[in-house]
Structure 1
Amino acid sequence: MAREVDRPRRLHRTDWMALLSGTLFVVLGILIVTRSITDPLVLVSLVVVGLGFSGLVAIVARAIRGK
């Protein structure tokens, strides 16, 4: 019976959609708190474009991975 420390670790793959979406919302939150963005239309458009970019990166990363 192999000890737990002897087994090789499996690394998790990067979840690009979650990483980029989280970064987007943190940055937008900072911009809202500092009042750099005051127009709701600009905010909504940045959210839509940012999530679209995150999805595109996630799709490309999955295609490159071969999954």
Structure 2
Amino acid sequence: MLPEPGETAPVKKKRRYWHRTDWLSLFSGLLFIGIGIRYLVKPPPDTGVMLLALVSGLGFAGFFAVISRAIRKR
């Protein structure tokens, strides 16, 4: 049925979908982008130093993700 000329149709509320930030994925992605940019710039980096940066960066990202999840559970 159509509403009468003076009536207004019911207004639908917009839904907002929120999600929590995945810190491990965010930091890991930024780390890999940074390492990729470093390999594009001259002079080429030392492989050992870059491997150490990768492992320590992923460790930091994992540590931060665990801490943020523990704080979020409280």
- TM tier relative to shorter chain: 0.7 to 0.9
Percentage of matched positions with identical amino acids: 41
Q: What stretches of structure 2 of length at least 5 have no aligned partner?
A: 1-11
Aligned residues: 63
Whole-angstrom CA distance in 1 between matches of 2:56 and 2:18: 30
Q: Determine which structure has the larger helix proportion and give its number.
A: 1
RMSD: 1.7
- Of 57-66 and 5-14, deviating more is 5-14
1:31 Cα offset (Å): 0.7
Q: Which is bigger in relative contact order (C-alpha 8 A, separation at least 6)? A: 1
Q: What stretches of structure 1 of length at least 5 have no aligned partner?
A: none
TM-score by length of 2: 0.76
Moved over 4 A (4+): none
Whole-angstrom CA distance in 2 between matches of 1:12 and 1:52: 24
